[in-house]
Amino acid sequence: MSLSFGFFSDAALTTPITTPLQFLQAISSPVAEDKTIYFGSAVASRVCEADSNPGVDAVTVSIVDSAGGSGSPATDVKLALSSVGLGSATGGATLALPATINSSSGNAVPIYVRVLDSTHAGGLNLDLSLQTNTLRETPV
């Protein structure tokens, strides 16, 4: 069974993110690009937990580099639970979300993302994406 929980580009959980992280890198002056995405489910009366130890282990989000050695490395991406937290976040580090996440847009977890391409190569980068640990979804 596929999960209804996932990453969305809006807090209402109406637009799923189905592509890798996309960001445009200017050659002359690289500037960090900040985005807010959301983790959750619009399906009513569902709960998401880590499959390893439900309700105890955190739901985690990690950065995956599909083209290691080319393009931006995973360490170019910082994740945080607040915009202020991006300042002290470690590039490439896994982000821990709550151990239990309830469905509905009111329970969507905002994830703040900062990307600064260390390669300084211009163009559209598509080699980085987000992934969760193995999750389970159950009715409430």
- Whole-angstrom Cα distance, residue 21 to residue 68? 15
Q: Report yes or no on 104 lying in a domain.
A: yes
How many CB atoms neighbour CB 85 within 10 A?
14
Taking only the tens place, the pLDDT of each residue in 74-124 is 999 999 999 999 999 999 999 999 999 999 999 999 999 998 878 777 667
Q: Report yes or no on 50 lying in a domain.
A: yes
Provide the terminal-to-terminal Cα distance of the chain, rounded to the nearest Å.
Answer: 17
Q: Report yes or no on 1 lying in a domain.
A: no
pLDDT of residue 27: 57
pLDDT of residue 4: 96
Taking only the tens place, the pLDDT of each residue in 10-53 is 999 999 998 877 666 555 557 788 999 999 999 999 999 999 99
pLDDT of residue 95: 98
- Whole-angstrom Cα distance, residue 26 to residue 69? 20
Q: Report yes or no on 97 lying in a domain.
A: yes
Query: 1-5, 10-14, 57-61, 136-140: which range is least confident on average?
Result: 1-5
- Alpha carbon 116 to chain centroid, angstroms: 15
Q: Report yes or no on 54 lying in a domain.
A: yes
For the chain, how many structural domains are there in total? Answer: 1
**What does residue 76 show for φ and ψ, rounded to 5 degrees?**
-80, -5
User: Which domain, by its residues, includes 121?
Assistant: 6-139
Mean pLDDT of 62-79: 87
Q: Report yes or no on 17 lying in a domain.
A: yes
